[in-house]
Each structure stands twice: as C-alpha cells, then as structure tokens.
Amino acid sequence: MSQVQNGKAFEWAIAISLERVVGKFRKVVIVESLAQQDASRHFESLSDVKKIAMGKAAVEAVAHICEDLERRLSTLRSDDLPIYVSIMPDASGQAGDVRDLVIIEGHDWEVGISAKHNHAALKHPRVPAKKGIVDAWLGFRSSEAWFKDMEPVYYWLNRHAGEKWSDRSDTFKNVYAPTLRALCAELWHVQEQGHPVAERLLRYCIGNHDFYKVIYSTAEKKVIVQAFNLSGTLGRDSSGARSRRVSVSPLPKSLGKFHLSGNTLYIRMDEGWQISMRIHSADSEIKRSGLKFDVQLEGHPPQLYTHHISIK
C-alpha cells in the first residue's frame, strides 16, 4: 500500500475515532462525500492487524485533542446540536487549506486535523510551468530576474520532454541547482522590496487555518499531536469545562539565512521557524511542469504545542 493510500486510511481511522470518542457526549455525523468514501475504502483494504494498530493510534490522538485541548468536544450539551466531521478533498490543500478533516459545530465553530502516516511533510508544491514562483505561491509580482534565471532550466525541460528522468545524469547541474539558486534570489528580492515574504511563505506551507497535526509513526510506535495555533483559534474553553492552554505561535517577520545542501534548500526565519525544501521530479517522464518540492518543518518557536503518545 502506498504512502498516499495509508494516509487516506489514517484519515478514516481518525474520523471513526472521533465518532467513538465524541460520540460519548454528542451526536456525531460523518459527512458522506467522495473523499470520505475513498478514505473508508483504503482503511477497509488494510489487514486486521494494521486496522487495529492504526485505530489505536487514532483513538489516542483524538482522545487527547478532545478531552484535553478542545473540551467543547467532550462536554455534554443540553441541546441536540450534532458534531459534523468532514473529510476534505485533495483540492483543498492546493487552495491553502492543509486540514484533512474538519470538525464543525453549528455555524460559528470548527477545528481541523491534518493526518500524517509515517511522514510529517507540510506541502508538496510544484514549480509553476509559466508563472513566476512568488506570483503563483505567494501572490507577489515576480521579477524579470526569475524568468531570466529559469530560462535555461525551462529550455532543458522542453528539450528533454518525454524522456525518463532516470536516464539523465545532468539533472542536478542543469535543473535542480539553478532552480534552487533562482528561488533564493527571488525570495530575497521580494523581501528587499518590503513585502512580508516570510509570513506569506510560512502561511503558504502551513495553511490559512489553525489546525492540529497528528503524525503516526509505525516504526517508533508513537503518535505526535502538534497544535499550529497561529491565529489563536485553538484550545478554547467550553462552558463549565476548561481546555489546556494552547499557546499562539508567532509568525515570522523576516527571512534570515539560506543554506543549500544537495537538492535541498534550508530557509531560516526569525521567531524560530525553519523549513527545508527538497526539489525532485514529480513524474517519471520529464516535462515543463514536472518539478516539485517536499517541504518539511525543521524548526519552530517553543510556543508550538507538541505532545508525544506511545502506542503499546
């Protein structure tokens, strides 16, 4: 089973765990959709052993979120207002919402969860085939220097379109390295123009909504719960029940140091944030739109809530 399929299965494990944990206090409705059906199908295709292990990890994470961090989900109500659980389509991530599941109560409250199975990547954005990278990603006007720096890269991609990436030995020299150098120069140029590029870049990678990130590691037999509380919407109290404090993590104000190592760019920002961006081919065949980044969180402010749970 692929990493993507396992990830979908884990989304369903969290959804049914919400039904189990929150269902002790409130009516829970899992919203039917194509994304929900897809996640359910992948979970049901697992072996019984994997279902049990994944289900246990999901229950532990969900119980911690609902009973410690979001007491609204573990408090009895006098009315019959249900909790709705929606599994988000993949297109949501492309639009800036990295949450895989959204828990909704009424019209004015929701909380999201990002489910990760054996990886903790933030995002996998592509290098745009036509638009400038800061224009496509961050909404800033791209410089002429970006297109000039990328001209030989796009020429190489067009020239070798249809060939296998694995058949080329000059990929790093002609594609990866110049693209990373161009990205460094472009991000620095935008910052020098006075734009909030650090905040916008982090928001692009982490998403536009506060959320809980649940990372299940089968090798380490543990699940990690992180709270990306950048706008202060997480950890709110319920009437008569107090949630554990979830600190607000400060957003970065400026880019600091760039470091290139092989095909990976490390970007250090202020406030303790650091990300890595590993460039790689997105498809087996070469094409103009075939470059992709694997974005990882390498460092974060001490305020970012992180909780480890061992799975026995």
Over residues 115-174, the pLDDT tens digits come to 999 999 999 999 999 999 999 999 999 999 999 999 999 999 999 999 999 999 999 999
Instruction: Give the pLDDT of residue 93.
Output: 59
Structure-token pair, residue 17: 């765990």
Of 114, 23, 20, 78, which Cα lies nearest the Cα of 238?
78
Rounded distance between C-alpha atoms, residue 127 and residue 142, angstroms? 13
Tell me, yes or no, whether 179 and 220 share the same domain: no
Positions of the chain with pLDDT under 70: 1, 78, 92-95, 238-241
pTM: 0.91
Residue 125 covered by a domain: no
Burial 299-310 (b: 16+ CB within 10 A, else e): ebeeebbebeee
Tell me, yes or no, whether 142 and 162 share the same domain: yes
Tell me, yes or no, whether 36 and 151 share the same domain: no
Domain count, the chain: 2
Instruction: Give the pLDDT of residue 239.
Output: 66
Structure-token pair, residue 55: 């289900």
Residue 127 covered by a domain: no
Name the residue range of residue 62's domain: 3-120+207-249+304-310
Rounded distance between C-alpha atoms, residue 32 and residue 16, angstroms? 13
SS3 of 83-139: the string is EEEEECCCHHHHCCCCCCEEEEECCCEEEEEEEEECCCCCECCECCCCCCHHHHHHC
Rounded distance between C-alpha atoms, residue 116 and residue 66, angstroms? 18
Tell me, yes or no, whether 256 and 156 share the same domain: yes
Tell me, yes or no, whether 166 and 225 share the same domain: no
Instruction: Give the pLDDT of residue 94.
Output: 62
Give backbone dihedrals phi and psi of 2, rounded to 5 degrees, phi first.
Answer: -75, 165
Q: How many Cβ atoms from other residues are within 10 Å of residue 183's Cβ?
A: 23
Tell me, yes or no, whether 284 and 147 share the same domain: yes
Tell me, yes or no, whether 146 and 211 share the same domain: no
Instruction: Give the pLDDT of residue 56.
Output: 97
Helices (H) and strands (E) in the chain, counts: 9, 11
